[in-house]
């Protein structure tokens, strides 16, 4: 009888496993792509995706929908973004058949100087408190996008976020986890408990969370426009609060800030043009990595092979040395973008890679003179928006201006305090930035709007997505679900130098044989819990005139269309 029972259990177990097998697609893929004709939204939170679709269905365009969804994300995912942070976007405008890039990253306080940090013994800018706070660029970014491309009133776009903030929403599992972790050290700052711990603890999975202060703030913005945030009571509250906390951000710093439209830059990778925003962000690092990888036959190496992972890691090391030395606000420093993303430079750098051995150290190249959210939306007319927004370090600086319901970013932590460095601190300077949206065109036409959040993981993730799509022939969902690698060390955002080659971190899904081969090449391998980024993407199928959507399996996200 026991033998019979064991056979039954084994039979059920085998059939259960068989039922979980996918009939189509790669074995690691979590679901099939979403396909729709009239519009598509992919965000890191399902409620935000639904808000974007509601705006599209009510007659709004992709830009309108992106603003509405981003406003809601600041409420439902405060661990990654909010009106206290910065925003970057790449927009395909169907009318002009052109890409536009928006840099809405805020600058440093005019009255805070490098001398202040030196006189007070700072070796680096602190991560929390008032000193790393820079002007929040998000609201300026919304209105810059809306003024240029919007089609319905901002009042309508901000209403869903206002309603959810006033009436509440159920907290998701992942955000509840991150909020609890953040609350452990941020609750010491004024306003945190009142805003994010109304019941004595951060909201738990499934609990309704309300933020009436944020609802009031968004209502003021909806009624008073951009100036309500940068020149009205909100700006005065931010400035007075930061001054009380010993900081320097002033009313004038806010009132004089403007978002900036810039020219996106690109490289052609095996026939596809990959677009990024130039520095002060790190987007061109993805282009540099791709240019180096193009010097190798990546397709023949195969996805997940030790050979491919080795080449990718070495390319990343090379590029991040340039990133640490050169990337900065181009109004203050000469950043030779054209040379850095050139094919000639990539060929020179690729020659430094030893196929049999991991490097311990690379130097930056010699130059010729001369936690975050990502979302994307597309509409029936062909407009597409690639948007990324962040407070940095998860929830930000810990600074919650009295009664406003949001936390200010701590992006200023990324300035260098080394005199002569491209990214050295200066008043009214934008810091080196990690958040980067991306876009792919083919023969001058829109193809894929995509991004991958996660600090220094972002350019590594961008490049891995492109390689998965183009070299390894994965579909849009597979490209995001495929296990990722992340190399840490060799010039992290704080610009500290590693004495060795850093760590190669590998997500579950790679075979022990591959790990063993990489260790034999000299790579230091470790497994990390999370930190591999969050991906969303929309692809336009010009032949069938439909959109494909994909959402990150590692997040709470959703891709949906109509």
Catalytic residues: 372
Following DSSP, what letter does each residue of 54-70 receive, concatenated? HHHHTT--HHHHHHHHH
Phi, psi at residue 157, to the nearest 5°? -70, -35
Rounded Cα gap, residues 267 and 329, in angstroms: 21
End-to-end CA distance of the chain: 55
C-alpha pair distances (Å), 482 with each of 30, 384, 507, 559 = 9, 25, 9, 17
Closest CA to 87 of 69, 110, 99: 69
Rounded Cα gap, residues 507 and 526, in angstroms: 9
Which distant-in-sequence residues (6+ apart) come within 8 Å of 562 by Cβ? Answer: 36, 38, 39, 53, 56, 57
State the residue for tokens 């995912």. 77
Rounded Cα gap, residues 396 and 371, in angstroms: 9
State the residue for tokens 């150290």. 361
Judge whether 275 and 454 are in contact, CB under 8 Å: no
Pair of tokens at residue 321: 């040395």
Closest CA to 329 of 457, 249, 257, 427: 427
Rounded Cα gap, residues 386 and 101, in angstroms: 9
Taking every pair of C-alpha atoms in the chain, what is the biggest distance, in angstroms? 83
Which distant-in-sequence residues (6+ apart) come within 8 Å of 343 by Cβ? Answer: 267, 291, 294
Judge whether 519 and 511 are in contact, CB under 8 Å: no
Which distant-in-sequence residues (6+ apart) come within 8 Å of 126 by Cβ? Answer: 132, 413
Judge whether 52 and 76 are in contact, CB under 8 Å: no
State the residue for tokens 């089609």. 151
Judge whether 124 and 242 are in contact, CB under 8 Å: no
Per-position b or e across 410-441, b if 16+ CB within 10 A of its CB? bbbbbbbbeeebbbbbbebbbbbbbbbbbbbb
Strands 534-541 and 445-453: antiparallel
Rounded Cα gap, residues 323 and 458, in angstroms: 13
Helix ranges (H only) for 256-398 are 283-293, 298-301, 306-326, 337-340, 343-350
Show the beta-strand stretches assigned E in 138-247: 169-170, 208-209
Report the interhelical angle of 306-326 vs 283-293 (nearest 10°). 140
């Amino acid at each position: 009888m026991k033998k019979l029972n064991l056979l039954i259990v084994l039979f059920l177990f085998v059939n259960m496993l068989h039922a979980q097998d996918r009939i189509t697609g790669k074995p690691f893929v979590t679901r099939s792509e979403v396909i729709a004709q009239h519009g598509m939204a992919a965000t890191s939170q399902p409620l935000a995706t639904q808000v974007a679709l509601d705006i599209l269905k009510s007659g709004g365009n992709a830009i309108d929908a992106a603003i509405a969804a981003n406003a809601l994300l600041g409420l439902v995912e405060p661990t990654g973004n909010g009106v206290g942070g910065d925003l970057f976007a790449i927009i395909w405008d169907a009318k002009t058949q052109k890409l536009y890039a928006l840099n809405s990253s805020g600058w440093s306080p005019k009255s805070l100087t490098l001398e202040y940090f030196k006189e007070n013994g700072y070796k680096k800018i602190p991560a929390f408190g008032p000193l790393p706070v820079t002007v929040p660029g998000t609201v300026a970014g919304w209105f810059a996008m809306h003024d240029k491309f919007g089609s319905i009133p901002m009042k309508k776009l901000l209403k869903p976020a206002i309603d959810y903030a006033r009436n509440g929403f159920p907290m998701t599992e992942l955000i509840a986890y991150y909020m609890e972790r953040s609350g452990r050290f941020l609750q010491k700052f004024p306003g945190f408990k009142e805003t994010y711990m109304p019941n004595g603890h951060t909201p738990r999975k499934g609990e309704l969370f309300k933020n009436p202060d944020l609802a009031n703030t968004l209502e003021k913005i909806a009624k008073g426009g951009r100036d309500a945030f940068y020149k009205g009571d909100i700006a005065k509250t931010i400035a007075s609060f930061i001054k009380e906390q010993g900081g320097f951000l002033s009313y004038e710093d806010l009132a004089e800030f403007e978002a900036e439209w810039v020219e996106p830059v690109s490289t052609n990778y095996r026939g596809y043009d990959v677009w990024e925003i130039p520095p002060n962000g790190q987007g061109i690092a993805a282009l540099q990595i791709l240019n180096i990888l193009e010097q190798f036959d990546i397709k023949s190496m195969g996805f997940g092979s030790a050979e491919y992972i080795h080449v990718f890691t070495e390319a990343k090391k090379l590029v991040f040395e340039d990133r640490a030395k050169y990337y900065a606000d181009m109004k203050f420093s000469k950043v030779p973008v054209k040379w850095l993303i050139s094919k000639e430079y990539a060929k020179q750098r690729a020659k430094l890679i030893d196929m049999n051995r991991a490097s311990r150290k690379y130097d930056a190249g010699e130059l010729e003179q001369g936690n975050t959210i990502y979302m994307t939306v597309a509409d029936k007319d062909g407009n597409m928006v690639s948007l990324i927004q962040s407070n940095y370090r998860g929830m930000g600086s810990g600074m919650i201006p009295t009664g406003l319901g949001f936390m200010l970013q701590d992006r200023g932590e990324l300035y260098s305090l080394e005199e002569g460095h491209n990214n050295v601190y200066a008043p009214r300077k934008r810091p080196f930035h990690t958040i980067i949206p991306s876009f792919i065109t083919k023969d001058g036409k829109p193809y894929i709007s995509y991004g991958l959040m996660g600090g220094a993981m972002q350019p590594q993730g961008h490049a891995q997505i492109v390689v998965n799509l183009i070299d390894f022939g994965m579909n849009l969902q597979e490209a995001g679900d495929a296990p990722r690698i992340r190399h840490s060390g060799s010039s992290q955002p704080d610009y500290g130098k590693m004495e060795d080659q850093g760590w190669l971190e590998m997500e579950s899904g790679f075979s022990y044989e591959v790990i063993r081969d990489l260790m034999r090449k000299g790579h230091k391998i470790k497994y990390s819990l999370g930190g591999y980024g969050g991906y969303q993407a929309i692809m336009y199928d010009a032949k069938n005139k439909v959109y494909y959507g994909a959402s990150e399996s590692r997040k709470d996200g959703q891709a949906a269309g109509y």
